[in-house]
């Protein structure tokens, strides 16, 4: 069964003993994100900070930090996550428009100060200041009226003034460019603490002409509950924790940044669009959501849609066990039940063509977990034949951000599968009874 509310997902994680609580006061400037980062590097658990300096609002972070949590939030089984998502993508649901919306329990339309309404979380050492990093931006195309949902970093400047990163080829950037050509402002709403299906839809790679609110309904298998925004002509998620409404004026740019981005480096200060806030609506007991760019939650939300796009391309060439993006989303690992040596190369080339960001593709056998970087590197070290199993495609660009695109030219595919005639030689060891072992009942306690 899908979780159709952000707080419903938190409650489910809490009941499943997966949500870790932090009760002691935590500083919103650096300390909160540093704690999150240390947890991500260790046990990687969802976190709920109950006491954040400068704000009465609790903060949830690292919520969708595992692929299994995302699958569970949509009522899906992990082994069939990708084909099931592809199936649901085509089964869109109409919107459920409601008038009594929890997100409108508190409405601020005058004397707006964004910094008074949400925790001022600063992530990295050189960041320009507090940012909204878990806001789903919602807009309508000025011509077609199709809804777009997307993830965009937003710098909090002060009062009713924010700076928002949006540019083509991202769909929201295309919407803004279309409005600007007509010298019009683009209405935008930023939903924080959105339903899981909408968060996934905002990260998806569905076609430009597809409506991402309807797609979210398909992924959760029930219509997305929406309500009319208070000050902009948009429908917004009725069950979100917060919605920030406003307009992006045409031909107005301001320096935004620097900001610690998902490549684990900084995006330098550069001109970006401005958002003029006209309303902040929220639940009375709202929970603020924070995502660390490039952290496990970000990688899950960005990685799974990329994995589905690769799956669409490669499934025609053979039986795919699963697809992973360990390390980073500028490449993938395809686990293939190989029936011929030619299959691996066909799968590799199809995966490299599935999305521009696919720079490094590794194909492994079905006995290798494509989500485990150690397993993948083991396959490369023990089964890859460099003389015949590496395929370099020169001069093709992948990640196109101007400051780093020269480092992302060319693509490479690596066949890390065992040759068919040597399958017996590469058969992996087994350890009888290992699955049934309970180490807590076997190992002595640690000495005090």
Q: Please tell me the distance from the alpha carbon of residue 333 to that of residue 353, in angstroms, as a whole number.
A: 14
Half-sphere exposure of residue 389, counting CA atoms within 13 Å on the CB side?
Answer: 21
34 within a domain of the structure (yes/no):
yes
| Per-residue pLDDT at 395 | 79
Number of domains comprising the chain: 2
Residues 331 and 342 in one domain: yes
| Per-residue pLDDT at 264 | 78
Does the pLDDT value for residue 401 go beyond 80?
A: no
Burial (CB count <10 Å: 0-12, 13-18, 19+), residue 441: exposed
Which of 295, 324, 343 is the last residue before a domain boundary?
295
Which of 269, 295, 321 is the last residue before a domain boundary?
295
Residues 250 and 132 in one domain: yes
- pLDDT (tens digit per residue) in 264-285: 789 889 999 999 999 999 999 9
Residues 202 and 266 in one domain: yes
- Mean predicted lDDT score pLDDT of the chain: 93
Cα first-last separation, the chain: 44
Does the pLDDT value for residue 432 go beyond 70?
A: yes
Which of 295, 316, 346 is the last residue before a domain boundary?
295
78 within a domain of the structure (yes/no):
yes
Residue 333 domain boundaries: 297-422
Residues 310 and 161 in one domain: no
Residues 73 and 53 in one domain: yes
99 within a domain of the structure (yes/no):
yes
Residues 76 and 105 in one domain: yes
* Distance, CA of 372 to chain centre: 19
446 within a domain of the structure (yes/no):
no
416 within a domain of the structure (yes/no):
yes
135 forms beta bridges with 192
436 within a domain of the structure (yes/no):
no
448 within a domain of the structure (yes/no):
no
Query: Could you tell me the two tokens for 176?
Result: 């803004």
Residues 286 and 311 in one domain: no
Residues 252 and 362 in one domain: no
Residues 238 and 115 in one domain: yes
Residues 261 and 334 in one domain: no
For residue 341, give the CATH number of its domain.
3.40.1670.10
Residues 55 and 186 in one domain: yes
428 within a domain of the structure (yes/no):
no
Looking at residues 87-103, what average pLDDT do you find? 95
Instruction: Say what percent of the chain tops pLDDT 90.
Output: 81
For residue 145, give the CATH number of its domain.
2.30.110.10
Does the pLDDT value for residue 347 go beyond 80?
A: yes
39 forms beta bridges with none
Residues 291 and 305 in one domain: no
- pLDDT (tens digit per residue) in 198-218: 999 999 988 888 899 999 999
């Amino acid at each position: 069964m899908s979780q159709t509310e952000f707080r419903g997902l938190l409650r489910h994680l809490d009941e499943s003993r997966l949500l870790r609580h932090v009760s002691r006061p935590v500083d919103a400037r650096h300390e909160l994100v540093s704690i999150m980062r240390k947890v991500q590097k260790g046990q990687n658990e969802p976190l709920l900070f109950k006491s954040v300096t400068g704000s009465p609002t609790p903060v949830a972070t690292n919520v969708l930090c595992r692929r299994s949590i995302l699958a569970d939030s949509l009522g899906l089984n992990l082994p069939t996550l990708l084909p099931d998502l592809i199936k649901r993508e085509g089964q869109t649901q109409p919107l459920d428009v409601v008038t009594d919306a929890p997100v409108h329990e508190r409405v601020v339309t005058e004397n707006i100060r964004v910094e008074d309404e949400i925790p001022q979380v600063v992530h990295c050492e050189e960041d320009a200041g507090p940012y909204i990093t878990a806001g789903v931006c919602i807009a309508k195309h000025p011509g077609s009226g199709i809804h777009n949902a997307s993830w965009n970093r937003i710098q909090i400047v002060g009062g009713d003034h924010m700076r928002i990163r949006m540019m083509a080829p991202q769909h929201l950037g295309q919407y803004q460019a279309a409005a600007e050509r007509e010298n019009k402002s683009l209405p935008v709403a930023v939903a924080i603490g959105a339903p899981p299906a909408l968060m996934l839809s905002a990260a998806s790679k569905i076609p430009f002409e597809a409506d991402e609110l309807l797609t979210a309904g398909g992924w959760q298998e029930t219509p997305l509950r929406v309500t009319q925004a208070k000050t902009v002509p948009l429908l917004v998620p009725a069950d979100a924790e917060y919605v920030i409404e406003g307009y992006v004026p045409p031909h107005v740019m301001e320096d935004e940044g620097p900001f610690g981005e998902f490549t684990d480096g900084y995006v330098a200060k550069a001109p970006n669009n401005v958002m003029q806030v006209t309303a902040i609506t929220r639940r009375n007991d709202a929970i603020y959501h924070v995502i660390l760019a490039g952290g496990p939650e970000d990688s899950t939300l960005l990685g799974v849609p990329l994995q589905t796009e690769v799956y669409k391309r490669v499934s025609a060439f053979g039986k795919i066990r699963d697809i992973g993006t360990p390390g980073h989303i500028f490449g993938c690992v395809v686990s293939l039940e190989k029936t011929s040596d030619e299959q691996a190369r066909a799968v590799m080339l199809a995966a490299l063509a599935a999305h521009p960001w696919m720079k490094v593709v590794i194909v492994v056998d079905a006995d290798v977990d494509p989500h485990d970087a150690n397993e993948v590197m083991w396959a490369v070290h023990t089964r890859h034949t460099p003389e015949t199993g590496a395929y370099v495609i020169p001069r093709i660009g992948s990640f196109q951000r101007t400051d780093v695109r020269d480092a992302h030219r060319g693509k490479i595919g690596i066949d890390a599968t065992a040759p068919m005639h040597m399958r017996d030689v590469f058969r992996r060891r087994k350890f009888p009874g290992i699955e049934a072992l309970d180490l807590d009942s076997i190992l002595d306690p640690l000495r005090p």
